[in-house]
């Protein structure tokens, strides 16, 4: 009987000790951030969503080769008469559904500054698989148009941030 009450007491006492610790934190400011209204800025080294700068890109294809999950595909422009390769991309597609966020493409890119890089953007919301593919073609804004297989055309995705709103390269 005494042992039983001793156990109850020790359990209750440990409970109170635990509460004493939690009580101390009760009066300290909260460490969490209410996400949609407040947002944290990642550190400069953060590897977020891939961005590409087609003006800088020399279409060497090193990024596509370095990628472990074939997330990048591109084709270089071809001179209409000599049929020679021009160091400019004809189109450049990033499949964010495949991206590992490993940074190997950025490391492999030979241009300065990098023409493919991880931005600080971490808010990627897609409503279907097609929206995950971001294709750049001349005349299209980059992180916007997505391929619509039904209409066989590129369309503007809903609620996706445009390139201008994305943070600049670190």
- Residues 6 or more apart whose Cβ sits within 8 Å of residue 143: 49, 51, 134, 160, 161, 162, 163, 166
Residue 166: closest CA among 148, 146, 142, 147: 142
**Smallest distance from the beta carbon of 19 to another protein, in angstroms?**
9
Rank residues 21 and 55 by Cβ distance to another protein and give the closer one.
21
Rank residues 23 and 78 by Cβ distance to another protein and give the closer one.
23
User: Please, is 6 exposed, middle or buried when counting C-beta atoms within 10 Å of its C-beta (0-12, 13-18, 19+)?
Assistant: exposed
**Smallest distance from the beta carbon of 131 to another protein, in angstroms?**
23
Rank residues 117 and 136 by Cβ distance to another protein and give the closer one.
117
Rank residues 17 and 82 by Cβ distance to another protein and give the closer one.
17
Q: Which residues bind another protein (CB under 8 A)?
A: 7, 10-11, 14-15, 17-18, 21-22, 31, 42-43, 45-47, 66-69, 100-104, 107, 118
**Smallest distance from the beta carbon of 95 to another protein, in angstroms?**
16
- DSSP assignment of 18-86 equals HHHHHHHHHTSPP----TTTS-PPPPTT---SEEE-TTT-----HHHHH-TT--EEEEEEE-TTT-PEE
Rank residues 105 and 143 by Cβ distance to another protein and give the closer one.
105
- Which residue matches tokens 């294809």? 61
**Smallest distance from the beta carbon of 45 to another protein, in angstroms?**
4
d(CA 5, CA 140): 76
**Smallest distance from the beta carbon of 163 to another protein, in angstroms?**
21
d(CA 117, CA 114): 6
């Amino acid at each position: 009987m005494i042992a039983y009450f001793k156990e109850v007491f020790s359990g209750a006492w440990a409970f109170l000790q635990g509460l004493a610790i939690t009580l101390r934190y009760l009066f300290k400011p909260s460490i969490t951030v209410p996400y949609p209204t407040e947002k944290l800025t990642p550190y400069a080294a953060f590897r977020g969503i891939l961005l590409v700068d087609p003006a800088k890109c020399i279409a060497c294809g090193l990024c596509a080769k370095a990628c472990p999950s074939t997330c990048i595909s591109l084709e270089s422009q071809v001179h209409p008469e000599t049929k020679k390769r021009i160091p400019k991309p004809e189109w450049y597609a990033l499949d964010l559904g495949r991206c590992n966020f490993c940074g190997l493409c950025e490391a492999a890119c030979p241009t300065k500054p990098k023409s493919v890089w991880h931005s600080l953007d971490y808010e990627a919301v897609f409503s279907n698989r097609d929206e995950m593919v971001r294709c750049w073609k001349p005349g299209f804004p980059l992180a916007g148009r997505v391929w619509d297989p039904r209409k066989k055309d590129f369309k503007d995705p809903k609620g996706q941030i445009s390139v201008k709103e994305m943070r600049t390269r670190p």
